[in-house]
Structure 1
Amino acid sequence: MKKRAGILACLPLLMTTPLAAQANDSVYTDLDTDHCKKLSAGDEPGGGVILMCKGYADHPVYYKEGDLRQAVLYGRVNAAYIDGTYETFGPFNYTGRKIEWRLDNAGKPFAAIQRWYISNSGPMEPGPAPTDTGQVLVISKVAGKDGTGCVVGYVDALSNDKPNLLARQIADRQAEIFTCEEDKAAFHGTRGPLATDPVHSFPQP
């Protein structure tokens, strides 16, 4: 309670930064890959890049791209996961810029929701998704003390009436109890034909 009181007292000083929110509420940040720290970059065609970007408070975002496919990790991810985890989709894809963070009752983010655009046929195009491109909300666990973060579930944003609400419900119910590499991320709600199969890669033991 003392911590929360201190946060509320400081709100007038924080108007230009993401604000703390009530439990089971959301805060939003933008993924700005133009102002990230480059951790690694492939020199060969199709080689991957890993960026560490600003997230929410002291929880960074790790953006990974290779072969026109993107993956994102959130929070204090350990080195093995930064290097060895890659969760994306089979077809070419790219992420939206807005990240929704779900907070616990202490104001700490435990889940993140971000939109992926999936190019199912033809070349990937920038801007608004073409008619052959799916849109999937990806719900992820924010890495905590154990340093592991991963995808918890998926919601087809084109086939459900209130996809953002459904994604929040999945985040609130599953993210904190989800065990990376053991539990399997699944689609929730209605899944249409443009929400193609995800792929998962984790660090080798």
Structure 2
Amino acid sequence: MRTLLLTACTLVALVLPVQAGQISSVYSKLDFKKTCKVLKEVEEGGSVSMLCDGYEGYAVHFAEGDLRHSVQFGYVETDGNGIWQSFTQWNRVAETVEWRLQDGTPVAAILRWFIENTDDAGSADPARVGQVLVVSRVGRQADKGACVVGYVDALANRNANVLARQVADSLTQDFVCGTDRAEFHGKRGRLSGDPS
């Protein structure tokens, strides 16, 4: 009986998946006036690049140009240029960043973007503002791989935050910046914009 019980426990241990580590969330705020340092600013055209406080030494790299934002997280190229990842439509980002941690280390960040879709005359239309949760890989010091890994239309998906966390937890680890292509997950509505 003891041998049978030991064999059964061994088989159960072999069948159960190995845990990838404890996954949790923490939040930080983007405060452009208090916690961001201007790296470069060009008044003509209104472009700016900033380095902002993030989480536990993992910075937020913010840039704006032509009424469009671009954001990267963690360790990126130090020249302040980084990879421009945005939407073709005018856009702006929310102030709250959700950091997904694996065993206490940030591996992904989720940030809500507002897409300023235009009316037929080409003017921003408040009735056509889209919302997209952008899931990004947090660059680590060893690889500097910071980039967008996926999108979730926050208006088209009732469980958008949950879905964004699933994308962060399942895709971030193996996503190769510069090679793999970020895609929309879940339903995609007509206000979700065009990533660029």
In 2 relative to 1, CA 55–84 (structure 1 residues): closer, same or farther, beyond 3 Å? Answer: closer
Residue 14 of structure 1 corresponds to none
Q: Which residue pairs with 2:7 in the alignment?
A: none
Structure with greater Cα Rg: 2
**2:91 alignment partner in structure 1:** 93
The unaligned stretches of length 5 or more in structure 2 are: 1-20
Q: Report what 1:38 is aligned to.
A: 38
Query: Structure 1 or 2: larger strand share?
Result: 2
The DSSP-based 3-state class of the residue aligned with 1:168 is helix
Whole-angstrom CA distance in 2 between matches of 1:74 and 1:141? 7
Unaligned runs of 5+ in 1: 1-21, 200-205
Q: In the alignment, is residue 143 of structure 1 matched against residue 139 of structure 2?
A: yes
Contact 2:76 2:82 (8 Å CA) reproduced: no
Give the counterpart letter for 2:70 in structure 1.
A
Shift of 1:79: 2.0
Distance 2:86 2:39 in 1: 19
1:111-170 CA-to-partner distances (Å, cap 9, x unmatched) read: 000000001115558xxxx32110000000000121120000000000001000000000
CA distance in 2, matches of 1:54, 1:69: 21
Give RMSD over aligned pairs.
1.5
Query: In 2, Cα distance between the equivalents of 1:124 and 1:75?
Result: 32
1:177 equivalent in alignment to 2:174: yes
Aligned residues, how many?
Answer: 171
**The one of 132, 157, 160 aligned to 1:163:** 160
- Change in Cα spacing, 1:124 to 1:53, as seen in structure 2 (3 Å) is farther
Q: Secondary structure at the match of 2:38?
A: strand
Determine the structure 2 residue equivalent to 1:133.
129
Q: Does structure 1 residue 28 correspond to structure 2 residue 27?
A: yes
* Closer/same/farther in 2, CA of residues 184 and 30 from structure 1, 3 Å limit: same
Residue 27 of structure 1: SS of its match in structure 2?
Answer: strand
Would you say the 8 A contact 1:100–1:112 is kept in 2?
Answer: yes
CA contact (8 A) 1:93 1:124 kept: no
Q: Percent identity?
A: 46
- Relative to the length of structure 1, the TM-score reads 0.80
- Structure 1 runs (4+) deviating above 6 angstroms are none
Partner secondary structure for residue 166 of structure 1 = helix
